[in-house]
Structures are given as C-alpha cells and as structure tokens.
C-alpha cells in the first residue's frame, strides 16, 4: 500500500498543524480540518492520489482558488491544492477558443484573451481570484453571461480523470470507444438514464423549465437532453458537479467577444418593485448587465471614499440598478443609451440617469457592486459569520419574491440583511450575518433557511442555487427542489462515477438532513485590523508569499485559529501553532500592502504583521533600533564599508566566498541576510549640483539611502543618482539637495520591521529636513526609489502636530511622477529603444501611478511589455536577503514570462526589486532613469 510520501516529495505534502489549519476554511461558512494538503504537478500524481484514496478509504477533495461559498472546497480528508502547478493556458483559433488547466485565475485568462478582443463567458464577481477549476466545477456564470454563456454552454472539450484512475478527453475521438469499453457500467448507466428521461415527458419538461433560469443545484440533468453519447453527457455533468464525480485536468472553452465600448450608470428607484419593473425594458433596450441593489446594500457602501453622496440621502424604501450597455462601436453604444434615456421617464426614478464611458468611473461603480458581499462582512457584528445565498426567480415574479424575502428577514430578526444580484436573470443574492455560538442561534438559522426553501421552491418555482453551487448548505434540499424522481437520478450518477463515495463526500448528495448546520465556521474576534475579513480570498493572487508559506487570508484564518485555541484551553496546540506562525505568518510577509488593493474593504494584512512584529520586539531590540535611527548616517556609512569589504573578499578569495560565509551564519541565525553576487561596490557620495541658468523649474532631490548605498549598476558609467541629475540637467530642471542628506531616510527600514519608536523619530526628522530644503514647501520633493516615495507619502500618522502641518504643504513625487509631469511633455527623444519590459513595483500600484510608468516607457520605446504575471517580487527592502525563498517564489511566474521573449531593456523603479528580477531572470534590470537619460 502506497504512502503519500511515495507518491509526492515531502515538500509537496503539507501536514504541519499550521498547514492543516490554514486550509480548513474557504470563502464559505463551514470548517473542516484536512489530514494533509498535497500539491501534485501532473496527471500521473493525480491518478496515484486516487489510488491512495481508494486503498485507504480517505476522502479526496480538489481545491483551486478557494473562493467557493457553499462549503465545496474543504475536507477532513486529503485536500488537493491545484493553485500552483496547474496554470497552463493556450490560446487557440485566434482567440475563439482557450485551453486551460484548473489552476489559472479567470481574470488572467481574460488578460491573455484581451489582445484578441475576446473573453471567457463566465464572469463571476470573484473572477480576479477564482480559478478555472472552480469556475467549471461550479458552473459559474456572473453578471453578464446569463445562462447562454455560462461554463456549461461554453465548454467545448474537457479532459478528466475518474476515481478509478482512467482518463478521457472529448477532444480525442478514440476516447469515445474506449469510454464505452473500459467504463461499461458508467456508459450503460448513463445511457439508461438518458432513455428513461426522454421517455418521461413530465420529467423532461421539468428539466427544461428548471434551466430557463439560472440553476446550479444538484447535477446538470439537462446534459441527458442536450447530448446523446454518454461521454458527452458525462463531460457536461462534470460542469457544476463541484468535484464530486471526477477530476477536471483540462478544458477548452469557447470565448465570446469582449465588446470594447461600454457605458455604465447607477439608476435610483423609489422602491424595489419599481426597480424590478425596469428590468425587462432594460433588457429589451440591450443592456448587457442589470445589477440590483436594495437600500440596505447601498447603506453598506455609502461610506466608501468617492461614492456619490446622493446615496446617503436615499429614502428607506429606495433601490438601485447598476446598468451597463456594451457595443462594438461608439455609434451603436450611443444609440442604445439614448434610446433607453428617452423612455426612462416611464420609471419611478429618484434621479435622472447619468451614464459614463470613462473607464476609471465605470471601474469604481463595478468595484462597489463586486465588493458588496465583503463590505457587509466588514461592518457585521463581531463574532458573527456572513452567509451569502443565491437564488433565482422568473423575472416577472422578482419584485414580489424579494418583498416576501424581506418579510422573512424581519420575522427571523436579520435587520442588517441585504439583497443584490443579477436582476436581468432573476438571480439575486441575499446576505445575512449570523452567530452560531448557541443552539438557539443555530435553530434560528435553520428555521429561516427552511422557510426560504419553501418560498423559493413552493411559492415561486425558483432555483435554490443559481450560480454558487449546491455545496453543503443546500445539499439537504436538492430533493425538495427537484423531487424524488430527479434526485434518485442524481444519486445514481454519483454512484456510477464514484462508487466508493470518496470524492468530495457530503457535497451535493448528502443524506444528513442537518448538513447545512453541521461543521460551521467560527469567526472569533482577533485583531482590529482584520476582524472585518470574511475570508473571501480576493487578496490571495496579489500576495508574494502565497505559494511559499501562506497568504493574507490564511494569516487571518490562523490568527482566528490561535484565538479559538486560546479560548478553549488547547495549550499545546496553541504553542505549536504560534511557533509555526512566527516564520510562516510574520517572517515571510513582505508587508507590501498589495492585499489591500484587491480587498473590497481595504484590509492591509501587512499592517497587522507590522504590529505583531512590533509586539514581539524585546526592549533591547527597540533600543538598538532607536540608536540606529538617531545615528543613521554612521550606520549607513558602516553598511557601505561592510559592502565594500564583502566585494573585496570575493575579489581576493573567489566570487562565491561571501555567499558561502553568509549561508553558514544563516544556519545558526535564520534571520541573518544572505549575500548576493549581484551586489556592487557603493557609489561615491552625491555632490551638490551646480545651479543651471535658464532653468524652467526647481525640485528638491531626495536620493534614497538605497541609492546612496546600492546605486551602482553593472556596465553603467553613472550611478543612479548621477543619472537622475543628468535627466534633470537635460530637462532644464534646477536641483537642490537637503542638508545632511546622508543622515536622513524615509523611515521604511524601521516601519516595516515594527520598530515604531525608531520609525517615529526618523519620520519627524525627515519632514523637518525636507521642510527646510523645500523653502517651507515651495518646491516639490522627488525620490528615486518608489518604495521610499510611498513610505514618505504615508508618514502623517506618526508625525507630531507641527510636522503634520508641514507635511500637508510638501509636494512629494516619485521619480516616475516627476518624469511624467515635467520631463516627457517637452522631451523629444534623440533615440528610442525598440522593445522593453517593465516591472511595476507594488508601491507604484498602491500609489495608482503605474500608468505613468507605462506612459514614460512608451515615450522612449516603441513597444512596452508589462508581463501578465507581474506582481510583488517579495524583496520588501531586505526581506529577500533574509528569506531568499520568498523572492524566488514570488518572481517565478513573471521570470518565466520574461525569459520566454527577448527585450532591449528591462526596467523598474526600485533597486532592490531590480535585484530580485535580475536574480530571477538572469537579465539586467535597471532603473527607468537609465532609459530616460540614454534616450533624451
């Protein structure tokens, strides 16, 4: 009998307590602790895992993005994590089809298709984090695709592996005959079911009617009517089967046009029925998206910065529709919008609609809509769980159904419940917050959900699950919706495909009538920074440590696990988990804050990590940090000396000597930085520039300590500071330097490590120096390292009152902003690079100025590429020297993409990030300043 260690190498078997607890949750409200998490890399290993499962009678569950909401990607058996090694994609037929593995994110697929003007049909709100395995297995749809372009209808071919280990592909014609021969029981069983359904007119009619609206509850019985051959039937049963019948190894999806012209508006109505009355006219007018939001959901987001203040003035009964028209050209788009506006006076609107085609404004409106679920979670009462259900009704009944649902909210005391959803399809989501800490609370939820079932099924003949999948929370009610005859067929399908019942047991088919209130997740109160997290997983794709140790969501899951262990007195488990969390949760976090950019409620897990680091520092460590802050010039000089010494040692005794020495020290002291052979001797000190006559403007140049210590570049005659001054000279910009420039820094070094006192000292010192240098705010300050710019721009919370006043009067620019605003408007390149690649550092992303980097690059190069896999490199100042595995993991995908092509130059805006990308790719990454200087 094989063991897991005989199937996979140990590094791809995660069985420590921290791993098991981190993967015990997904975006839903259930909690199961797996025995182990495994990461196979190919089909051979998948087949071996099936054999292990069967031999040991252990459940096997496949998981990709973990954004499922119904409990379908957790297990107390073996969890198969497909998020790392299953991300291949191939564009076919000029973008009309795309071949994907289960571990690629849906939004990334669309990014690859963008150049062809195409996209995949499904467009769930979670598409930026959801992966194709989950999108297929849940038959995802979304805001625009309706039922016509969901996963079921746009899947062209599929390759799958059965629990017995046999694999088949509908793209391979011989597999049809092999399926009949080698899977005779499954083949005959499916054939029999098909004949019985076709002979039963009432059942056939019921199936057709059920799929006229969105429906993902149970198995896709329409496959028996839509297809004839059992292999085609089974391949479509897999869509929406939630990983309970087989493993989807690959799929070919038909794509749809991504119409380039879009116009969006928020429409405000007097009440919910008035909004619902406008749905069918909007659809008839050509609206591609019609998203409903009730007053309660609007209240949840009315405090978001930049939102229309009109929302806060809406009456209690009000409702809204977020509407978007799409077209292939501007004339067609304008005609559709104008046509609707001419007739909209017929509706009970509180405000005349204002449509926008501006991408930034449109994206903001959709961010509000997509963030409704997490936004409600963020303002929930502490200790409660957020439950999101999705149901569908025939559109003519939608207004009445919502009114009835709101009555149930009142009856069962859910005052904060909200309703939103894809109104064009009669598909709505409702969110309630619920504690499960007492039997009475569990009973309240149970009674409520049973009345919801009666309302949806018996009164309106709707769908209990429109697009989120049956999972565990609707498994007891599949038979209620479908009836005994159809449910018996579904059970037969499960038995035929998975006779041992080991593939995601308890999902879809579950004989426990209390399954929806079993294995419920606790959300104990932890730290204020993250209490509002509902574990949706939207943050994970941006995290540099997600494939190395853990991710923002999993860090929060682990903090909650620690809190629960502490509350329940599990001292030994608490001690073990806390010890493991120190490295996985704290030491390997880049604190880059990119998680906040994709979090609907702006949770920055890096802030939590910095505070936890701060709390872990001993008084002596804090005292040393304060000493370093007060004597920064001396410390910087010492670092320069050590760097020169290391270079000399390598030169005398061999280029790898320092690398070997630091590796030895690191075995004893894990947090000791590792030497990099990419390090060069420090640049000479910057000289005060000579004032130029006929200058058009003046700036204060604040060269970062990184530039002062590491500003030399291989093969370049000028260091980065000299290069910046050269750009200014060619652009007729006068440059001033702060006094004692070598003694000041932006304080990022202390902030990221949680040395708050040192951070405060250095922050106030730098603002005082810059206040003097800028003539009391007269001239802008320009920095040459983007991470330092970001830090400097966010110093206000730690400044004293006087320096806060000064800070607000100082203009702070990154070098990219300076070049964008003051160089390229009048710069005529003397030469241009042909083809270059950029690495936009996370600080640019957080400052929302990455577009400026692309604009600058495009001014001096004919073709500019930003890799689709570009993200945080994990360097985080010195973090990459201390935990080199973090940067290796974070840059892996981007490096592979860069190395697959050839470029004339590789550019970024932060020296340490450039080192990380150079190390990962073997190509020399340089500051964007060199591109500008060489082409001016």
Highest average pLDDT, of 131-145, 242-256, 519-533, 613-627, comes from 242-256
For residue 809, count other CB atoms closer than 10 A to its CB. 11
Mean pLDDT of 886-901: 96
**What is the distance between the alpha carbons of residues 121 and 147, in angstroms, rounded to a whole number?**
10
The confidence score (pLDDT) of residue 147 equals 85
pLDDT tens string 474-533? 999 999 999 999 999 999 999 999 999 999 999 999 999 999 999 999 888 898 878 888
- Segment among 120-134, 218-232, 290-304, 778-792 with least mean pLDDT: 290-304
- Segment among 144-148, 763-767, 813-817 with least mean pLDDT: 144-148
- Does pLDDT of 379 surpass 70? no
CA dihedral defined by 895, 898, 899, 903, rounded to 10 degrees?
Answer: -140
**What is the distance between the alpha carbons of residues 135 and 138, in angstroms, rounded to a whole number?**
6
Mean pLDDT of 166-191: 98
Mean pLDDT of 640-661: 93
Mean pLDDT of 19-47: 97
The confidence score (pLDDT) of residue 620 equals 93
For residue 585, count other CB atoms closer than 10 A to its CB. 26
Mean pLDDT of 716-745: 94
If you ran DSSP here, which 8-state letter would residue 474 be given?
A: S
Burial of 168 (0-12, 13-18, 19+ CB in 10 A): buried
Residues 6+ away with beta carbon under 8 Å from 527: 559, 608, 611, 612
The confidence score (pLDDT) of residue 346 equals 87
The confidence score (pLDDT) of residue 865 equals 97
- Residue 17, classed as helix, strand or coil, is helix
**What are the residues facing 666 on neighbouring strands?**
none
What whole-number percentage of the chain has pLDDT above 90?
84
Please say whether the beta carbons of 187 and 234 come within 8 A: no
Please say whether the beta carbons of 919 and 911 come within 8 A: no
Please say whether the beta carbons of 95 and 53 come within 8 A: no
Q: What does the mean pLDDT of the chain come to?
A: 94
Residues 6+ away with beta carbon under 8 Å from 229: 176
State both tokens at 458: 């018996």
- Residue 717, classed as helix, strand or coil, is coil
First to last CA, the chain: 69
Residue 170: pLDDT band (50, 70, 90) is very high
**What is the distance between the alpha carbons of residues 598 and 388, in angstroms, rounded to a whole number?**
20
Phi, psi torsion values for 431, nearest 5 degrees: -120, 130
- Does pLDDT of 378 surpass 70? no
List the strands of the sheet with 861-865, edge to edge: 861-865, 833-838, 905-908, 925-927
Please say whether the beta carbons of 643 and 681 come within 8 A: yes
Mean pLDDT of 56-78: 96
Please say whether the beta carbons of 870 and 840 come within 8 A: yes
**What is the distance between the alpha carbons of residues 194 and 152, in angstroms, rounded to a whole number?**
18
CB half-sphere exposure, 930, CA atoms < 13 A: 25
The confidence score (pLDDT) of residue 143 equals 81
- Does pLDDT of 456 surpass 80? yes
Residue 366: pLDDT band (50, 70, 90) is confident
Mean pLDDT of 159-178: 98
Mean pLDDT of 536-557: 95
pLDDT tens string 385-432? 888 889 999 999 999 999 999 999 999 999 889 899 899 999 999 989
State both tokens at 525: 């109160």
Mean pLDDT of 56-67: 97
- Segment among 202-211, 294-303, 887-896 with least mean pLDDT: 294-303
Say how many residues make up the chain: 936
The confidence score (pLDDT) of residue 321 equals 95
Residue 866: pLDDT band (50, 70, 90) is very high
Residues 6+ away with beta carbon under 8 Å from 155: 136, 235, 236, 239, 251, 252, 253, 254
The confidence score (pLDDT) of residue 601 equals 77
Residue 377: pLDDT band (50, 70, 90) is low
Residues 6+ away with beta carbon under 8 Å from 415: 409
What whole-number percentage of the chain has pLDDT above 70?
99
Please say whether the beta carbons of 106 and 255 come within 8 A: no
Phi, psi torsion values for 715, nearest 5 degrees: 80, 5
The confidence score (pLDDT) of residue 1 equals 60
- Does pLDDT of 371 surpass 80? no
């Amino acid at each position: 009998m094989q063991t897991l260690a005989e199937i996979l190498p140990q590094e791809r078997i995660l069985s420590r307590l921290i791993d098991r607890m981190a993967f015990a949750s997904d975006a839903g409200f259930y909690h199961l602790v797996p025995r182990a998490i495994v990461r196979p890399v190919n089909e051979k290993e998948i087949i071996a895992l099936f054999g292990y499962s069967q031999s040991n009678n252990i459940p096997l569950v496949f998981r990709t993005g973990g954004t499922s909401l119904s409990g379908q990607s957790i297990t107390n058996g073996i969890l198969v994590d497909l998020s790392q090694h299953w991300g291949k994609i191939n564009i076919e037929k000029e973008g009309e089809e795309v071949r994907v593995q289960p571990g690629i994110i849906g939004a990334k697929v669309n990014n690859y298709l963008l150049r062809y003007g195409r996209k995949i049909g499904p467009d769930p709100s979670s598409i930026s984090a959801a992966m194709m395995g989950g999108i297929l297995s849940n038959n995802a749809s979304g805001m625009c695709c309706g039922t016509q372009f969901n996963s079921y209808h746009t899947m062209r071919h599929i390759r799958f592996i059965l629990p017995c280990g046999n694999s088949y592909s509908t793209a391979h014609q011989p597999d049809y005959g092999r399926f009949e021969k080698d899977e005779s029981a499954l083949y005959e069983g499916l054939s029999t079911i098909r004949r019985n359904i076709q002979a039963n007119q009432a059942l056939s009619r019921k199936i057709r009617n059920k799929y006229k609206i969105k429906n993902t509850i149970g198995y896709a019985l329409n496959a028996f009517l839509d297809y004839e051959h059992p292999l085609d039937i089974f391949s479509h049963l897999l869509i929406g089967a939630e990983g309970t019948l087989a493993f989807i190894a690959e799929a070919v999806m038909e794509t749809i046009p991504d119409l380039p012209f879009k116009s969006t508006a928020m429409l405000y109505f007097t009440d919910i029925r008035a909004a619902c009355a406008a749905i069918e006219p909007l659809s008839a007018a050509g609206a591609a998206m019609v998203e409903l939001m009730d007053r309660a959901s609007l209240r949840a987001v009315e405090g978001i910065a930049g939102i229309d203040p009109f929302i806060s003035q809406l009456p209690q009964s009000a409702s809204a529709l977020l509407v978007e028209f799409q077209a292939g050209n501007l004339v067609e788009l304008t005609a559709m919008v104008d046509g609707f506006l001419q007739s909209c006076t017929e509706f009970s609107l509180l405000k005349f609609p204002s449509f926008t085609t501006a991408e930034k404004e449109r994206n903001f409106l959709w961010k509000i809509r997509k963030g409704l679920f997490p936004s409600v979670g963020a303002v929930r009462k502490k200790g409660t769980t957020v439950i999101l259900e999705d149901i569908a009704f025939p559109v003519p009944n939608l207004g009445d159904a919502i009114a009835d649902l709101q009555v149930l909210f009142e009856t069962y005391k859910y005052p904060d419940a909200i309703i939103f959803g894809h109104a064009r399809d009669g598909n709505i989501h409702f969110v309630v917050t619920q504690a499960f800490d007492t039997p009475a609370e569990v009973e309240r939820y149970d009674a409520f959900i049973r009345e919801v079932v009666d309302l949806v099924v018996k009164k309106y003949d709707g769908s209990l699950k429109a697009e989120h999948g049956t999972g565990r929370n609707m498994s007891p009610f599949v038979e209620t919706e479908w009836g005994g005859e159809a449910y018996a067929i579904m059970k037969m399908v499960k038995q035929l495909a998975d006779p041992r019942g080991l593939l995601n047991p308890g999902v879809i088919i579950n004989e426990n009538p209390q399954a929806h209130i079993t294995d419920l997740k606790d959300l104990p109160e932890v730290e204020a920074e993250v209490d509002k997290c509902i574990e949706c997983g939207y943050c994970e794709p941006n995290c540099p440590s997600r494939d190395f140790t853990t991710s923002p969501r999993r860090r929060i899951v682990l903090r909650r696990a620690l809190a629960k262990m502490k509350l329940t007195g599990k001292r030994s488990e608490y001690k073990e988990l806390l010890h493991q969390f120190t490295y996985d949760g704290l030491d390997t976090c880049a604190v880059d804050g990119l998680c906040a950019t994709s979090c609907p409620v702006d949770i920055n897990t890096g802030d939590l990590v910095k505070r936890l680091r701060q709390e872990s520092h001993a008084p002596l460590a804090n005292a040393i940090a304060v000493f370093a802050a007060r004597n920064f010039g001396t410390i910087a000089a010492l670092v320069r000396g050590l760097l020169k010494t290391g270079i000399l040692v390598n030169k005398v005794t061999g280029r790898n000597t320092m690398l070997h020495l630091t590796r030895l020290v690191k075995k004893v002291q894990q947090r000791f930085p590792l030497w990099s052979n990419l390090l060069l001797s420090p640049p000479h000190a910057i000289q005060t520039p000579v004032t130029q006559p006929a200058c058009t403007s003046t700036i204060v140049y604040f060269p970062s300590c990184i530039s002062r210590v590491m500003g030399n570049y291989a093969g370049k005659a000028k260091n980065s500071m000299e290069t910046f001054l050269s750009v200014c000279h060619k652009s007729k910009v006068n440059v001033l330097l702060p006094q004692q420039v070598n003694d000041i820094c932006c304080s990022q070094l202390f902030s990221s490590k949680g040395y708050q006192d040192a951070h405060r000292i250095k922050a106030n010192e730098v603002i005082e120096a810059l206040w003097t240098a800028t003539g009391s705010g007269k001239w802008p300050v320009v920095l040459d390292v983007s991470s330092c710019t970001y830090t400097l721009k966010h110093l206000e919370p730690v400044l004293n009152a006087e320096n806060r006043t000064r800070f607000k009067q100082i203009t702070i620019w990154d070098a990219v902003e300076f070049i964008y605003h003051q160089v390229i408007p009048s710069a005529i390149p003397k030469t241009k690079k042909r083809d270059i690649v950029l690495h936009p550092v996370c600080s640019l992303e957080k400052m929302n100025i990455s577009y400026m980097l692309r604009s600058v690059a495009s001014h001096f190069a004919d073709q500019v590429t930003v890799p689709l896999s570009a993200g945080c490199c994990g360097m985080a100042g010195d973090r990459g020297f201390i935990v080199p595995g973090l940067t290796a993991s974070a840059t892996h995908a981007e490096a592979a993409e860069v190395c697959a092509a050839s470029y004339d130059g590789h550019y970024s805006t932060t020296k340490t990030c450039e080192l990380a990308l150079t190390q990962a790719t073997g190509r020399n990454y340089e500051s964007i300043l060199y591109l500008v200087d060489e082409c001016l």
